[in-house]
């Protein structure tokens, strides 16, 4: 069963939007795009803090998706998975809560640092990068690197079927044992769907996973400012070129973007501000994965989708 109630009207809006984007100069976009869009009748933050998790997940949430169940390479959006896993490890006393861990988690999410992510993955798995290994040590290394996937499996979420979160993120790419671990055809790359990311982000922001204090810490790292001066001072702000750019100033945003030469993605929860005399839009969660070189270079695609879906979320 889906964690949201499919809304036919929202599904039609998504289908019409994808068709319009293609007709406006993005031919073939439908095959390279996944979107999951959820709409809320009240703010999401902390909503599950005082609820039994089963009761929270039973509450109706209206939503729709376009290829939302299709696993795609998530780029840096996978860092959201590693953030939640680190909090779960910490809660289970499997990971010491040190200043260096906190610094790495902050840099991994706020700045999307690959170096910080490397340390976090090492700490989660008890592995390190390095030269290729003989078969027996490599088998043990691989087993350790599947610990996050094992934890995801234990959540029992159907949206996580077919997903894979065991690889570090790279600037130039993996080498040594890391390259071997990718597989000869890169078949072991990370994979996530927009439905899976949407459920994970909803759980974090609603305090429905790990613990409310841990979720509050994660929400603080995911918060983004739409202030133009702050964005100008940080060209890699994860707002411009992504969902945040398409929102009215004054909106509240929590997000994690991912981008590389063949992908431009974002996962965001939004509490929109009023825009002129227009009615205020309802809070919504939006995850967009766009693949291919054309999408990766299209700085207007994600903001345009966000603007149109924010308008469709007005009460």
pLDDT value of position 234: 95
pLDDT per residue as tens digits for the range 276-314: 556 678 999 999 999 999 999 999 999 999 999 999 887
Place of tokens 């990766």: 296
The closest alpha carbon to 43, from 164, 262, 158, 207, belongs to: 207
Task: Render the burial of 151-163: b for 16+ CB within 10 Å, e for the rest.
Answer: bbeeeebebbeeb
Contact between 214 and 221 under an 8 Å Cβ cutoff? The reply is no
Mean pLDDT of the chain: 96
For the four alpha carbons of 11, 14, 20 and 21, in that order, the dihedral sign comes to: negative
pLDDT value of position 278: 62
- Extract the runs of DSSP E, i.e. beta strands, from the chain: 5-6, 33-39, 62-66, 223-224, 252-260, 263-271, 284-291
Mean pLDDT of 147-173: 97
238 in the Ramachandran plot: left (φ > 0), alpha (ψ -120 to 50) or beta? left
Contact between 15 and 4 under an 8 Å Cβ cutoff? The reply is no
pLDDT value of position 315: 56
pLDDT per residue as tens digits for the range 97-146: 999 999 999 999 999 999 999 999 999 999 999 999 999 999 999 999 99
Determine the Cα–Cα distance for residues 72 and 74; give it in Å rounded to an integer: 6
Contact between 191 and 73 under an 8 Å Cβ cutoff? The reply is yes
pLDDT per residue as tens digits for the range 229-265: 999 999 999 999 999 999 999 999 999 999 999 999 9
Q: pLDDT at residue 53 above 90?
A: no
Determine the Cα–Cα distance for residues 54 and 45; give it in Å rounded to an integer: 17
**What are the φ/ψ torsions at residue 47 (nearest 5 degrees)?**
-65, -30
Return the structure tokens found at 164: 């894979």
Return the structure tokens found at 38: 């959820």
Between CA 3 and CA 218, with CA 310 as vertex, the angle to 5 degrees is: 55
Indicate the pLDDT class of residue 185, thresholds 50, 70 and 90. Answer: very high
pLDDT value of position 279: 66
State the total domains in the chain.
1
Determine the Cα–Cα distance for residues 48 and 57; give it in Å rounded to an integer: 9
Q: pLDDT at residue 13 above 60?
A: yes
| pTM (predicted TM-score) | 0.97
| Structural domain that includes position 76 | 5-312
CATH assignment at residue 133: 3.40.710.10
Task: Render the burial of 299-308: b for 16+ CB within 10 Å, e for the rest.
Answer: eebbbbbbbb
Contact between 29 and 44 under an 8 Å Cβ cutoff? The reply is no
Contact between 272 and 279 under an 8 Å Cβ cutoff? The reply is no
Indicate the pLDDT class of residue 1, thresholds 50, 70 and 90. Answer: low
């Amino acid at each position: 069963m889906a964690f949201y109630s499919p809304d036919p009207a929202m599904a039609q809006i998504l289908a019409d939007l994808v068709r319009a984007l293609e007709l406006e100069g993005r031919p073939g976009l439908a095959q390279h795009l996944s979107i999951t869009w959820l709409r809320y009748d009240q703010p999401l933050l902390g909503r599950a803090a005082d609820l039994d998790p089963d009761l929270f997940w039973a509450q109706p949430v209206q939503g729709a998706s376009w290829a939302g169940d299709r696993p795609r390479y998530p780029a840096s959006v996978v860092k959201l998975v590693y953030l939640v896993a680190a909090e779960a490890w910490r809660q289970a006393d499997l990971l010491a809560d040190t200043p260096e861990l906190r610094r790495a988690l902050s840099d991994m999410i706020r700045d999307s640092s690959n170096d910080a992510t490397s340390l976090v993955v090492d700490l989660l798995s008890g592995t390190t990068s390095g030269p290729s290994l003989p078969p027996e040590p490599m088998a043990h290394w691989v087993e350790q690197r599947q610990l996050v996937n094992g934890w995801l499996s234990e959540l029992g979420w159907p949206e996580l079927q077919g997903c894979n979160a065991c690889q570090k993120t790279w600037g130039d790419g993996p080498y040594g044992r890391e390259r071997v671990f990718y597989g000869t055809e890169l078949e072991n790359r990370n994979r996530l769907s927009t439905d899976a990311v949407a459920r994970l982000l909803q759980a974090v922001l609603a305090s429905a996973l790990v613990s409310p204090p841990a979720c509050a810490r994660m929400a603080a790292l995911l918060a983004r400012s739409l202030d133009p001066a702050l964005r100008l001072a940080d060209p890699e702000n994860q707002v411009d070129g992504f969902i945040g750019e398409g929102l009215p100033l004054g909106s509240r945003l929590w997000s994690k973007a991912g981008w590389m030469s063949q992908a431009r993605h974002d996962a965001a929860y939004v509490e929109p501000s009023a825009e002129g005399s227009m009615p205020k839009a309802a809070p919504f969660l939006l995850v967009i994965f766009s693949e291919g070189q054309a999408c990766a270079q299209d700085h207007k695609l994600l903001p345009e989708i966000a603007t149109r879906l924010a308008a469709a979320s007005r009460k």
